[in-house]
Structure formats: structure tokens, C-alpha cells
A = this chain, B = another copy of it.
Amino acid sequence: MSQLGGLAWVVFLFLLGEFGADAVALAARASLQEAPPATVIATCSACHGSSGEGNETMAAPRLAALPQSYLQDQLDAFARGERRNASMQSMARGLTAEMREALSIYYSGLQAPAKVNVEVPDAVRPQQRGAWLALRGKWDNDVPGCVQCHGQGVLGVGPHIPPLWGQQASYLRAQLLAWKHQDRPGGPLGLMATIARRLSSADIDDVAAYFANAPDSALAGASSSSSAAPLNAVPPSAFRPAEESSIADDDFGREVRKGEALFLHTSELAKQYVGSPINCVSCHLDAGRRADSAPLWGAYTVYPAYRRKTGQVNTFAERIQGCFNYSENGKAPPLGDPVLTALETYAYWMARGAPVGIRLPGTGYPKLAQPPRAPDFDRGALVFEKNCALCHGADGQGQRSEAVTVFPALWGELSYNWGAGMEQIDNAAGFIKANMPLGLGGSLSDQDAWDVARFIDSHERPQDPRFTLSTEKTRELFHDAKFSMYGTPIDGHILGSP
């Protein structure tokens, strides 16, 4: 690649990051120096179709409008033999590196299949196994839903997370099996290989069928046991939250589902109360069910409680208001608002059978022991680059799909504010250790978790709504002396100064 080409790529990648998949076609055309020869394209088209639309029978994937870097990575991996497929390996080896790049640019620039409307999906039921896996995941085995990384509508997010929409179901199925059986490199952070290993073959059939819009195997009455043992699941909690399938189709059940929808899609469905585009589920994984991720069942049973943060006893509804005011950087719904009642009802339903007033194992975020070395910004920056930037972006600003947040911003104007619990590095470290990277919880060392929490929470973010007189005074009144960076200097700037 020439120096000029390199610069063009920087611009291209910048645009790609900035505007997402929509901008790929335009940007790719603008930067394309040489189109691949028609003979080469004809060869590809034999399987992938003349518009790069793929071929279901041949399990040949859609290529059109996939991220260029993703396509190039795949061709290179076939050429090196790291990704296995007899015909693709042979094809790729026959192409120069430049030709592989040109092909990836070409296919990336083709028109994507017609998009679906990105809508909040109808309340899905766990019996709809494929849909459930795609939208909600399989958190008993630490598997996030497809949409949690590929975006609502699975349109793809950024250069490394391709769209699943319009992809061939047969291909998706084959790839999940390939990851499961180590016939394909694991992808960034090895995430897809890890996830595929946690899925049973039946799970893979179901989720592929969902993307094919085929009847869901479970709905069609087929037996689809998902009995694969957890490989790296969270330690089983003493408490199992209520099963989704127990939500009745009555007035109470409708309220539970309303609360669940608000929990998953807060920034869309409770827009008026949300400042930064963050959803409840961003900090409370698996729809608030996951232990060590501040599960709702754990919180519900320990309120009303006296909180030092407010200097009084707060009810559960008041605690939720705190999330809106700080973590969502918004203005909380008033007590009695239908949004609060629905969220409280959802939490109550989930806690069914839990003992009132007793803190269950898995409540809140785990408290990490102090690491051997004091948490460090620079080491944290490296941890971030390696483990977090893929999803949250190199600049920590998160990623969106069709204006809907897929990965939340970790600092800046669109992030949680200086009043949120997550601004304390002990809280952030506990959350990160247990849950991050998404689907790879527990994989970072304690030291890494502390360092990256220190790094993240040493960036500017929206002002603390409790701001009083000065940053110094506000720190003194409301911030933890040990674990908050608010009011402390970073590169000459006092964090939180107006």
C-alpha cells in the first residue's frame, strides 16, 4: 500500500468509524484505486452471486456491503490456511495480497440487501429458541445475544463486527460450527470461537433458522435440547431468577413485559428521562438477571435501605430514580410514573421466591481485592486498547447502529455522569472483572480490571447533578476520597471542573 493509499485508508477508516456501514459503499468507491478484473469477479460470482448476495444452497455468504477490513481479513486468513474451506483456501492462495484487498473493497462497496426497520422487537418468548438466542442470548452459559454486539437489527457495527442481516442462514450455521470445531480463527478477542463453543448444535440450528426466518425448531415442535455444559459460565448463584416462561399473559404479565422492554430499550422507550443513550441492560447484563452484574433480583430484595449517598432511607423506586439521574445522565421519572412502576414490577417479578431483606450472593458488583500495584492510567490505556476498543471504540465513545446504542460510551458527553456509581473505580473494576469483555467475563486479571477502570474513570464526563459551589466542594460532599477521580487533575485539567 502506497503512502498516499495509507493516508486514504486512514480517512476511510475514520469515515467508517464515524458513519458506520452506511458510509462503506461511498467511502470504498472513493478510495478504490483499481477494480478487480472482471474474470476474477465472475469466479467469485459463481458462488456469491453477481450482486454479492450469497447463495443459501451452497452456504456461500453474502459479501455485499460487509466491512472491507473484515472481508480482507477473511481472504487473508484463507490464504494463510487459518480459516478452512477447501475452495476458498485454494481461491485465496491464487490471489495476490493486492488483489485480495481490491476484492474486499469491491464487495464492501456493493449495495447491501434492503434493510429492515430497526424496531424494538415484539416481546420474545424463551420457547422461541432461535429468536431468544439472537435477541437475549444464553447467559446461563455466558453467551450474549447476537444483537448485543451486531446491533439491534443485526446490521453490523463498525469495521470488525459484520452484519448478520441478509446473511445466508446455511452460512451462519456453518460458521458457528466452524468456530465451535476450531476450523476458523476466533476473531477479535477470540470472542466468536468462545461463544460458539458454548452453544449446542441444536442452539446453532435454532439461531441460524431464526436468521433464515425459518420456523423456529421449538415453535415447530421439534425437540431442541440446549444441554451443553457451561464452559466458562459465571459461578452458579444460589438464587435463580424467575423464568421468562413464567410471565403470564394477564394484566400483571403485561406490566412485567413492559418493564422488561423499558429495561432493554431504555433510551428509546423512556427517551424523555434519559440524557445519555444508555440502557439499563448496559450495566445490568442479561436483562438484569446476571449475578455479579447488579442483578435486579438482588437489588429488589435489599430495598428500602439507608444510603449514604442520599443520607436517608430510599425505596426501590427511589433507587431506580438514581439510575436515571446519574447512570443515564437524565431526569428521573417522578414517583408513580408508569415507567418506574413497570421497572419495579419487572424487578419484583424477577425476584420471585427470593427472601426479602437478605443480600443474596451475586448482588451488586463483586468487590475486588486491592491489586498488588496501584491502579495506573497508562497500563489501563493498554488494557483498554487490547480488550475494550473493539466494541467501545478507540476513543471510548461506544458504537451505534442506526442511531441506537449497541456499545455505550464510557466517557464524554454521551456517557454516565459524575454522579453514577460507575465513576468510582472500585465499582467499575468489579463490574469489568466479572463481565467484560462482553461474553468473556472473568478473563482479565484483577490488576488489568483495576488499571482499565482507573483509565476509563479518569476521563471527563457530564457534570455531577449534585454540583455545589465548586468542583472541590462537590468532591468533598459527594465523592469517595479513594475511588473517585472527580476533582483530581489529569494532564493539567481538573476532572469535573465546569
List the interface of chain A (C-beta within 8 A of B).
242, 250-252, 255, 300-301, 303-306, 312-315, 317-318, 334-336, 341-342, 344-345, 348-349, 351-358
Contacts and interface: CB of A to CB of B under 8 A. Distances in A.
11 contacts: A252-B313, A300-B356, A313-B342, A313-B345, A315-B341, A317-B335, A318-B336, A335-B335, A348-B356, A354-B356, A355-B356
* Most chain B beta carbons < 10 A, residue from A250, A252, A335: A335
Contacts of A251: 306, 312-313
Contacts of A306: 250-252, 255
Contacts of A250: 306
Given A252-B306, A252-B313, A351 B345 contact: no
A348 B300 CA distance: 11
Contacts of A335: 317, 334-336
A344 B313 CA distance: 10
Contact of A304 (B304, B312, B313, B348): B348
* Copies of this chain, whole number: 2
Contact of A353 (B252, B255, B352, B358): B358
A356 B353 CA distance: 5
B300 A255 contact: no
A352 B303 CA distance: 11
Contacts of A341: 304, 313-315
Contacts of A334: 335
A418 to B, nearest CB: 25
A309 to B, nearest CB: 12
Nearest to A357: B352
A77 B41 CA distance: 117
B352 A354 contact: no
Nearest to A311: B251
A348 B357 contact: yes
A313 B257 CA distance: 13
Nearest to A351: B356
Nearest to A340: B315
Contacts of A356: 300-301, 348, 351-356
A255 B304 contact: yes
Nearest to A316: B315
A331 to B, nearest CB: 15
A344 B357 contact: no
A357 to B, nearest CB: 4
Given A303-B348, A349-B357, 7 more contacts: A242-B357, A304-B348, A313-B341, A317-B317, A351-B356, A352-B356, A354-B355
